[in-house]
Structures are given as C-alpha cells and as structure tokens.
Amino acid sequence: MAGRVRSVGSPLCEIGECPIWDEAEGRLYWTDITERKIWRYDPAGGKAEVFWSGDMQVGGLVVCEDGGLLLCTDKGVFKRSDDGGMLMLYDVGLEADERFNDAIADERGRVFAGTMKESCVEGRLFRFEKGAEPVCLLEGLRISNGMGFSVGGEYFYHTDSVPGVIRRYRFDIDSGEISDGRIWCDSIQGEECPDGMTVDSEDCVWVVCWGGSRVVRLDGEGAIIDEVKMPAVQVSSLTFGGAEYKTLYVTSAYKGAVDTESGKDSKGRFLGGLVYEIETDVVGRREYLAKL
C-alpha cells in the first residue's frame, strides 16, 4: 500500500505540524510551532525553505480560496495575503498559555480550529464563519488535535490526544453544527496517542501515532486496517498531496530531545523533526479551502 519513507530534506523542526498541500501552487506548507516558522516545500524543485517567520506560534494552517493562508496562532486567527500582508480576523480571548493546535475547513469554507494549553487542560474547539461571530463548540478538552470530514459529509472526526480518543460527530453542513459525539476509536493508547489525521477518497481515516513511530489507517468502524512504520518516534500530522493525491506527507517533532542537532532522546532514539513523503497506492482528498 505504501512505498519507501523518505525525508523531503528540510532541517529538523522542534514541533513540525499541520502540513497542508496547496493545489494551486503544487507546494506543501507546514509549521514549526515553537520556532515560530512556516516552511514551504516544492517537490518539483526538491527544495524546502522558510516561507514565514515571526513572533507568533502558528498551530494551524488552512489555504484560503482567494489566496494566502489562514494562520491559527497563540495570538488569534490571522490571514496572510499573497503580498505578505497580515490581517487579524478573530480574537477569541486566548489565555496566556493557550494556543491553537490544528485547523481544518469544511465544504462551505468555515474553519474549525482547536486549542490546547501546556497543562493539557481546558482546551477548546472553535468554528469560524464569514460574517459571524466565532462559536465555541467544545470545551474541557485536553489537547484538541486532528480533525476530518467523512467523504459524504455526514460525520466530523475530532481527536483529543491526552485521553487518546477520536470522537465522531454528526455534522450538519447547512448550519455547521456538530452533535451526538461518540467515541469512535480508542485503540491508540499506552506509550502512543492519536495526533493529526486526514481522510482519504475511500473514506478511511489516516492517523499519526505520537510516540508510536507509525501511521495507521482506520476503516469506517475505527478499526486499524493498515500501518506504515516511521523512522521518527514523534510523528505529529499528515496530509495527502501531489498531482494525483497519492503522496502522503508526514510531519514530526524533536520536542524533548536531549540533543537538538540530532533529534535524539536520552535513550538514543530519534524523536523526529523531519518531514517525510511516502508514495501510496491510495488516493487522498484535497482539503477544503477557507472562505473567511
């Protein structure tokens, strides 16, 4: 199902996160949250470069329909235009130790973005919609993380990493409301926890296992049906990209390493920090664009 795992050749990220494929550009973006950078990779040229650096921790990225990127940060939600301008769209009153952590757009262009604290308590999930005030959909989360929509749009998946659960909600595309949340997968436990996710064209959910050195593929019932072993212990998020959406891009993090040059911990294990690309025989899906 999956081919060789190879690095895209970028430097190590302390917390590489939220990879997003820009179809119009044919390039991959991702964030290094704690280093306050956004990276960009061009597969055609084989080059990774710093696209943006600043004073904010960017925990979520979404490509905008009218160009530019939506940045969900520790200081609010901003829109960066193609000409480099930065416009603050939403201030939801984040606390001093709270930041956004992962984001996704739905079919109508609304954006769902979750937050976390270093204490792993009182995380929240917000919905942003053009012309409307932000709505807090969920509270009391530990670490709001990966999200996805089923192929038919009937379900919304949401990960809460610390308890190690993925919940599936009924999703109303007209209102943007989620309801009837139930635990859909709680089998990724122990030394690993579920982190970022993406949904492929066959309606299967791909999840990275932070601490587990693997990516798993889940069927409609939340059962693991396949896995890809990864060189990094702390894989953090993933997305499909490439011309045919058969390339899986996976971010990782060296957070907690005793040697930040090598990304290794006290046991000599490579925690991560690289971004990987994997050719698969599965077709992914283009993520929806933000319309804010």
Stronger pLDDT, 45 or 240, i.e. the higher one: 240
What whole-number percentage of the chain has pLDDT above 90? 97
Q: Are the beta carbons of 92 and 134 closer than 8 angstroms?
A: yes
Contact by Cβ (8 Å): 112, 103: yes
What's the mean per-residue pLDDT of the chain? 96
Number of helices and strands (H, E) in the chain? 0, 24
Mean of pLDDT values over 11-34: 97
Cα-Cα-Cα-Cα dihedral sign, residues 241, 192, 166, 217: positive
From the list 136, 129, 149, the residue with the least C-alpha distance to 70 is 129
Question: Is 283 in contact with 247 (CB distance < 8 Å)?
Answer: no
Please tell me the total number of residues recorded for the chain in this structure.
292
Q: What is the Cα Rg of the chain in Å? A: 17
Rounded average pLDDT over 268-281: 97
- Determine the Cα–Cα distance for residues 160 and 146; give it in Å rounded to an integer: 8
pTM for this model (two decimals): 0.97
Q: Are 36 and 58 in contact (CB under 8 A)?
A: yes
CA 204 distance to own-chain centroid: 17
Where is pLDDT greater, at 204 or 3? Answer: 204
Is 19 within 8 Å of 62 (Cβ atoms)?
no
How many angstroms separate the Cα of 39 from the Cα of each of 51, 253, 283, 290? Answer: 5, 14, 24, 19
pLDDT at 3: 74
Calculate mean pLDDT across residues 186-215. 97
Q: What share of the chain in percent tops pLDDT 70?
A: 99
Assign a CATH topology to domain 2-280: Neuraminidase (2.120.10)
State yes or no: is 195 an active-site residue: yes
Residue 43 has pLDDT above 90, yes or no: yes
pLDDT for res 1: 61
Per-residue pLDDT reduced to its tens digit, 104-138:
999 999 999 999 999 999 999 999 999 999 999 99
- The reported pLDDT for the residue numbered 196 is 98
Q: Which of these is catalytic: 74, 106, 195, 200?
A: 195
Give, as one character, the DSSP assignment of residue 287.
P
pLDDT of residue 125: 98
- Widest CA span in the chain: 51
Question: Residue 250: which pLDDT band, with cuts at 50, 70 and 90?
Answer: very high
The DSSP H or E segment spanning 277 is strand 276-280
Q: Domain ranges for the chain, please list them.
A: 2-280
Residue 278 is classified by DSSP as E
Residue with tokens 């769209």: 89
